[in-house]
Every structure is written in structure tokens, then in C-alpha cells.
Structure 1
Amino acid sequence: MQPFLINSSYSNVIDDFQQQEVLINKLKHRFKTYGYRQIKIPAFEYYDMYASINGIVNTDDMVKVMDPKGKVLVLRPDVTIPITQVMVNHPTTQNDRYFYIMDIFRYHDQANQVNERTQAGIEHFGKKSATTDAEVIALAIHTLQDMGFIDFKMEIGHAGLFKALISLAGLSKQELIHLQNFIQSKNIAELEPYLNSLEIDDPLKELIRNIPFLYGLPGDVINAIQKYGLQENMQAELQHLIDVYDILKAYQLTDYIIFNLGLINDMDYYSDIIFQGFIEFIGEPVVMGGRYDQLGKQFGASIPAIGFAYDLQLLERALQRHELLATPTTISDIIVYYHPSMQKKALTDTLHLRKCGYVVLSFPDQENSLTTSACTIHYQKDSCTLINKGNSYQFHDITEVQELLVMQEGEV
């Protein structure tokens, strides 16, 4: 029988998986420190659930299949929608915090190929407040800090502020779509003549014209928009944004914050504050989020919520670009090496240590050089030795090993 050899492409896949596992564990840990619990939803959902939600997932992008009864199912194209449905169907009186690590599936652009992306995100259900919004943004920033990133920015906008502004213009749906596209792309060359073609009061037209330029340090952006004399409802939305920023000051995270009032993505989805995170040298946002208080109403219930999602593939690319994603090696608490004559004792002791919660790898003699550990146990023909933190100890049974390990752990 020919030996099975792992070629370079398989090796890369294995390394990528191990690197993603390290990344996922960091994300899970950070989410849990903020009180979030993990949730999982089915990979398949009925098509009707997604199709009934307006303006979120394009039905043409969904991967559809038939069940045995002839009903159309779709591979999960979005996570927030089904989680919101779960919350509507199982309401509680408390704030609910959930996180997820799940794949989403959509047809890729016009290539007719299924694009599978892994998302890691959180959903916070409960009463809207500046405190909650600031905490969610702080969590998004802290996760990037956990990864080791230094050069990144979190852009914050407010969909509600833009909606309040546009409501004064009395635009048709088609006119609003054109206007949003020009502002999102910062297409000033086409925005200017298009605005001139609309019957809008000059002061309002001037404010809309300058929205793409309301970008930068929060204080500068606030001062700039205040000059236009905002109406009461717009002033209230702006004040919420200011309140969120003031709380982020208490988190000492203002160095990462940029205000971008031209950030108006997914206006049918987001209702209030909206944000996205950019890492240096990565041209796409690695995290996107915001408040979506109106989504629950499409399921027949009022359920305020805010959340965000990281694109793990983009995060991995950013980690590689910034040389923060090391090639994984097998790491254990303890490595056991044994002489063939000591195999039975070594494996019996190894099993005992694993039952005690230690991560233990065992090898005949010293055949594995890709494994690292500060602690090794050597079962030789005439002696048994524990080497931990550079110190060497002779022992006779596994109880002595445990006592030595506990003693040295207490010295840390």
C-alpha cells in the first residue's frame, strides 16, 4: 500500500482551517466577555420567510432547493432575519444578547456560482439607548484590538438622520434611489446636476449636496452639520449620535472613531445608528452593523435590536496582510515521550492526565518536532522525568506529576 501524502494544496487548506479556528476562538471569547450567548439556526429555511422581508436579501441571490413536499427552501442567505424571527416567536422581558459563527450562502454577483462566507456576529435585542449602541460599537472595536490590529477606523453614521432629512424633500422612490446611489459612491459629478433637477428648497438642497463631505473627526462633523440649522427631528437624531460618542469617550476608544454621515448603506434595513470598520490596506469593511428596530415589525412585533457581523474571510486576509496570522503548530499543555518498553505506563498516565483536563500529546521517543510545549514528560527504560519551565524532576507515579504541576501552576 502506498503511503498517503498530504500535498501542498491540502496542507494549505488544513493550515487555513487551523488559523480560522484560532480566530473564531478569539471572537467567541470576546463576545462572551460582554455577556453574549451562542445561538445556531438551521442552514435551510423556507423561502417564504426571506421573500416576505422587504429590501434586505435579493431573492435572485438565494440558493434554492425543493423539499420532498415541493416547498421551496433556501440555504441561509442571512443570519439576522431568522434570529429576529426566533425572538418574535419567543419573546422575553429581558435584554437578550446572542452571538453566532455561521456560514451564509448567496449566488456570487452575476457568475452564477454559490458564494459561501463565514460570518461572526452579535445581536442585541432590547430597548434602544445610547448606552447600548455605544457598548455594541465598543465590542466591535475590542474584537479588532484582540486580533492585534492597530491601524483601523470605525466609521459611524446615522440612517435615521438621513431619513429625517430626505423626508423634507418629498422625493419619489426612484428619485430617492438615485440620490442614495450618488451619495453612497460620493459621485459628486452626477450628484450636483441631479440635485439641480429636483424641486427642493435651496437650503435643503445645499445640505444634501454636502452630505458626502460630512466625514471626519466627530467634533468637526457635528460643527459642520449644525451650521445648516437642523429641524427638531433631525436635531434629535444628531443628539443620539453625540450621546453615543460621549459614551465611547468613557471607553477610551475615540482614536478609532470617524463620523461619516454619508454612510447610508441598506437604508431599508437600518433604522438608526450604522457603522462599519476598515483596516489599513483592506479596501472593504471587515465588519458592518447598526440598529434595525423596524425588522421585527415585518414579523408582526416591535422588537428593537442592534448588531454587527464580521466577514471572517476578510479578517483572515487582513491578518495575513498585517502579518498577524502565524502558521499554526500543535500546542499542548504536556508532551509525553516514551521508550517502547514504557509504552503501557506512559499511555495509562497520559489518559489519566487528560481526564484531569490537561491537553496531552504522546509520542514514541522524540519523533515530533512540530509540537510545542513548556512541559514534557520522558518515560525512559530506567527513569521517568518531568521537565517543566526548565526544571527537571524525577518521579515514580502520576500522582507525583500532578502535585508538581499544581505546585508550579500556583507559582505563576
Structure 2
Amino acid sequence: MFLPEGSQDEMGTVVKNRATVFEMFRRTAEKRNYTEISTPLVEYADTFTNEKVGMKLQNMLKWFDGRGQIEVLRPDWTTSIARALSQKPFRACKWAYQGSVFRMDTPGLENRQVGIEMVDLPELLGEGECLFFAHDFFNRLGVTGVMVELGHAGIFEELVARLNLEDGQVDRLRGAMHDKRKDEVFEIASLSGNAKIAAELAGLVDAYGSFEMIRTFQERWKTEPALSDMLIHIEKLGKICMAVGMEDIMIDLGRVKNLPYYTGILFRGFLKQTGASCFSGGRYDMLYEQFHRQTTAVGIAFDADMLAEELAQEEKPEKICIIAGEETLAEAEKLRAAYGGKIVDIRFAPPAEGEFNKVLKFKNVSGHWEAEEI
């Protein structure tokens, strides 16, 4: 039988490295006083498709249950955890999870994640902890060369709120901004008749680069209290991170939220060598409103599959094959103990050439079994 498109079997190094990612994540979370949480793999679709979350049903793996309601494989950890925490009282503020999400709009149907969610913490404390955790986690994994990008969902929302655009036009504008299509951003924003704001939004397409960019826009927006406050918040978070050794920090003031529930700081991590995204997250206070709770909330999700690929290959121990037979099977097992720290396999037939570093075979010497290299 063949697998569905997007599914795949895995074996060997990638499975081992992913287990290492999970274990290092668990150790990091334990040392930083997190409580582990797990949610069901199967949820109702409307938990994720309502206006507060805004995920698209066509991107989910779904089916109808016996009562005609749509069920889905978990497409998002953050929303699932918010649902779980809102259903029962809790004291812990810091939560850690690991497991898969299933989406049809990403390469492969299954994406394995590890991540953290923080609820009811002061803004800067929660956001700083997200990035401190990432720094700690990467150090434990031995992953280096990670670039952190900071943005703010409110910048786009603040400017767009001043335009008289229909919902569909705003969605198009957000997509153009996300894809850095500057001319299209200006064209859509200009439909409102406000050329000044249209030019401001188009300019944000190029507003990414070094941390020093904040200074430029602080001067530019000095008469804009709402936008200035967002810049101050980004700058404060960035300086705190640099103070603990996170030197590679970029700014993207044109970053837009990929899900409606993000409301404030946005962050992503990139591997400088390949440009691959290894984590993302941000603030999502509004998400809990669908569960009738007012709170602060921020989180970060790490791509466990990507990190598993990045782990340095360990120096492999010597591989030894002992060729035995029924008479020498016990002798072979006892001989294994003499090669502690090495990989030892017992075979009844010679292995393929080059499969092992050393191959041993028993011979009878004066009534005793001795192993010799062949």
C-alpha cells in the first residue's frame, strides 16, 4: 500500500535527531519551571475557524462525525491550548508542549513542533522569556547562527484602520505586504483615497534590516504616539535580548500577522547559513476572548523537523560484526561485552562489504572457541 500525498516514513538519523530535539526541549522547559501540557489530536473545526482565530477550513484535515459536526486533526497548538486552559482553573503561567500539527498549506501534512505558551504574565516578562528560552534551547542543542527578527502586528493594523477599505481589500493588502509586493501595497491602499497612508504602508515593505532602523522610524513617527509606543516596546525587548548575548537581531516593521489572533510583538528565528525559519511566535491576547477570558498571552513554536536536520552529526562509534553459528551464539554474546562503547551486531552470515569497521569470526582452537578478524 502507498501513503497519502504528503505522508512519509522515516528512519535512522532523522528520527534519532528529532528525539534529541524533544529531549533537549523537555530539559530546557523543566529547568525554566514550565508545566507540560498536551491536547487531543482531534478537535472541532469551529475552534480554529471562528473570527478570533481565522484559520481556513480548506487547509485542515477534516471529516464529519456521527452528528454531522466537522472534526479536524489539530492544526494549531496555541488555539488548542487556549481552549484547554479556559475550561478549567489553573495556577501555572508557563506551559510547554510537543507534538504534531496537521495542515495542507505547508510542505508535508504533518509538522512536528515544540513550543511554549505563557498566560497571565506582564507583557515584557512573557516576551523576554520566549526569546530567552529560545537562546537557552539552542545552546543546549548546539545550534548556532540563529538570527532573531522582531516586528509588531499593531503597526499595520494602526495604519490600515485609518483607511476606508472593505474587508476583502484589507485581506489583499495584508497578503501583498506579507509577500513584500510594494507596488501592489500602494495600489490597494490608494483605493481609500488617502495617498499619504498608502505611501506609508508601501514604505514599510522596505522597513527591514538592522536594529538601528528603529531610530529612523522613531524620528519619522515622533508625532504618532501609538506608533511610537510600539517602536519603544520593540526597542526595549531587543536591548534586553542583546544584553543576554543574542547579538543577531533584525527588525521588520512591515511584518504582518499570519493569523488574526496576533495583536502585538511578533518574532521569528532564521538559520543564517540556510535562511530557513526555525521558530515563530508573538503576542495573542485577543485569542482568549472566544473562550470568554480576558488575559495576556504570548508564545513561541519551534520547528522540530527543521532543528533535527540542523543537529551536528555525532562521531559514530566503531561498528563490529561477530559472525556466529548455533554453537557459538552464546560465545558471541559474551564477546560483545569486550567492546563496550562500540556498536556490535551478531550475524549468522557475513555482512556486505564496508558495512562494518571490523568483522570477527569464531574458530575452534584445541576445543576452545576463539574469535579472529577476517
Q: When the two structures are superposed, what TM-score results if normalisation uses the length of structure 2?
A: 0.77
Q: CA deviation at 1:105?
A: 1.6
Question: What is the rounded CA distance, in whole Å, between the counterparts of 1:368 and 1:168 in structure 2?
Answer: 76
**Aligned AA for 1:289?**
G
> Which residue number corresponds to residue 325 of structure 1?
313
Question: What is the rounded CA distance, in whole Å, between the counterparts of 1:271 and 1:222 in structure 2?
Answer: 23
> Which residue number corresponds to residue 246 of structure 1?
239
Q: CA deviation at 1:50?
A: 2.6
| Number of residues of Structure 1 aligned to a counterpart in Structure 2 | 326
Question: Aligned in 2, Cα 1:55/1:132: closer, same or farther, shift over 3 Å?
Answer: closer
Pair 1:316-2:311 in alignment = no
Q: Among 275, 282, 285, which residue is 1:290 paired with?
A: 282
Structural RMSD (CA): 3.1
> Which residue number corresponds to residue 336 of structure 2?
366
8 Å Cα contact 1:141/1:154 also seen in 2: no
Q: CA deviation at 1:227?
A: 1.6
SS of 1:104's equivalent in the other structure is strand
What are the equivalent positions in structure 2 for 1:8-407 lying under 5 Å apart? 13-52=11-50, 54-68=52-66, 70-92=68-90, 94=91, 96-108=93-105, 115-202=109-196, 204-253=197-246, 255-319=247-311, 324-326=312-314, 363-366=333-336, 371-372=341-342
Question: What is the rounded CA distance, in whole Å, between the counterparts of 1:19 and 1:35 in structure 2?
Answer: 24
8 Å Cα contact 1:159/1:270 also seen in 2: yes
1:52-104 superposed Cα distances (whole Å, 9 cap, x missing partner): 35444211122223445554322111111121011111234x45111111111
Question: What is the rounded CA distance, in whole Å, between the counterparts of 2:298 and 2:72 in structure 1?
Answer: 25
8 Å Cα contact 1:19/1:328 also seen in 2: no
Q: Structure 2, unaligned stretches of length 5 or more?
A: 1-7, 319-326, 344-374
**Aligned AA for 2:118?**
H
Question: Aligned in 2, Cα 1:199/1:370: closer, same or farther, shift over 3 Å?
Answer: farther
Q: Which moved more, 1:165-174 or 1:188-197?
A: 188-197
**Aligned AA for 2:115?**
G
**Aligned AA for 2:156?**
F
Question: What is the rounded CA distance, in whole Å, between the counterparts of 1:73 and 1:370 in structure 2?
Answer: 51
8 Å Cα contact 1:105/1:115 also seen in 2: yes
**Aligned AA for 1:317?**
E
SS of 1:101's equivalent in the other structure is strand
SS of 1:317's equivalent in the other structure is helix
8 Å Cα contact 2:156/2:201 also seen in 1: no
Question: What is the rounded CA distance, in whole Å, between the counterparts of 1:191 and 1:136 in structure 2?
Answer: 31
1:103-123 superposed Cα distances (whole Å, 9 cap, x missing partner): 1122356xxx97011111111
Q: CA deviation at 1:154?
A: 0.7
1:109-153 superposed Cα distances (whole Å, 9 cap, x missing partner): 6xxx97011111111111342232122122123322332233220
Q: Which moved more, 1:305-314 or 1:281-290?
A: 281-290
> Which residue number corresponds to residue 348 of structure 2?
none
Q: CA deviation at 1:264?
A: 1.0
Q: CA deviation at 1:200?
A: 1.1
Question: What is the rounded CA distance, in whole Å, between the counterparts of 1:60 and 1:370 in structure 2?
Answer: 54
SS of 1:213's equivalent in the other structure is coil
Question: What is the rounded CA distance, in whole Å, between the counterparts of 1:193 and 1:166 in structure 2?
Answer: 14
Question: What is the rounded CA distance, in whole Å, between the counterparts of 1:368 and 1:185 in structure 2?
Answer: 60
1:182-234 superposed Cα distances (whole Å, 9 cap, x missing partner): 221111243344444441152x3332221122212222233234324342222
Question: What is the rounded CA distance, in whole Å, between the counterparts of 2:54 and 2:165 in structure 1?
Answer: 21
8 Å Cα contact 2:186/2:201 also seen in 1: no
8 Å Cα contact 1:216/1:259 also seen in 2: yes
Higher relative contact order (CA 8 A, sep 6+): 2
8 Å Cα contact 1:128/1:305 also seen in 2: no
Question: Aligned in 2, Cα 1:301/1:24: closer, same or farther, shift over 3 Å?
Answer: same
**Aligned AA for 2:313?**
L
1:295-345 superposed Cα distances (whole Å, 9 cap, x missing partner): 0001111122100111111222333xxxx1337779xxxxxxxxx9xx9xx
**Aligned AA for 1:249?**
M
Q: Structure 1, unaligned stretches of length 5 or more?
A: 1-8, 331-339, 344-361, 374-412
Question: Aligned in 2, Cα 1:80/1:107: closer, same or farther, shift over 3 Å?
Answer: same
Q: CA deviation at 1:29?
A: 1.2
SS of 1:21's equivalent in the other structure is helix
**Aligned AA for 1:98?**
W
SS of 1:77's equivalent in the other structure is coil
Q: Which runs of 4+ in 1 moved over 6 A?
A: 327-330
User: Identity across aligned pairs (percent)?
Assistant: 22
SS of 1:288's equivalent in the other structure is strand
Question: Aligned in 2, Cα 1:329/1:24: closer, same or farther, shift over 3 Å?
Answer: farther
**Aligned AA for 2:304?**
L
